[in-house]
Amino acid sequence: MATTVPVKREQVPAGARRPADYLWAATRIALGWIFLWAFLDKTFGLGFATAPEKAWLAGGSPTTGYLMGTEENALGGFFTALAGQAWVDWLFMAGLLGVGAALILGVGLRAAAVAGGTMLMLMWAAALPLATNPFMDDHVVYTIVLAGLAAADAGTTLGLGRLPILRRHPYLR
């Protein structure tokens, strides 16, 4: 009977891909699409989470709906005061677009993890107290996944993470 020996990371030839690399890449692209889709739906009012008349391009505020719904929550007063402010809308939309594009392309994952994690944790804080769990929800899980993507250098598989400029400037990874 043959026994299998686990392959250590050091034994994988340089440039070779493991199944886990493809799993991280698929996770990166899927999470990137979540961010990018939120940007597209809020910008154009595609009728999924945002009605056409509430689209950003139609004069709607991409932050008002979510933040105004937090007024009864623990930090509701703070977040309700931010709802609909132009600078908050622009930062939020730039974050959705930037994080989504970075994840899908596989570049800037460290910055995307910080920016996306910050956005997600602010949304988590706006929802406190959580209705179904004392502290854990999808915002926290996605933040952990973003950190994992950056730590795993997930942009190098099925992404542009191997570009020479990224090798010369690792802070861009």
> Does 168 or 42 have the greater pLDDT score?
42
Q: How many CA atoms lie within 13 A of 51 on its CB side?
A: 3
What is the distance, to the nearest Å, from the Cα of residue 136 to the centroid of all Cα atoms in its chain? 17
Q: What is the reported pTM?
A: 0.88
Binned at pLDDT 50, 70 and 90, residue 15 comes out as low
Report pLDDT digits (tens) over 115-131.
999 999 999 999 999 98
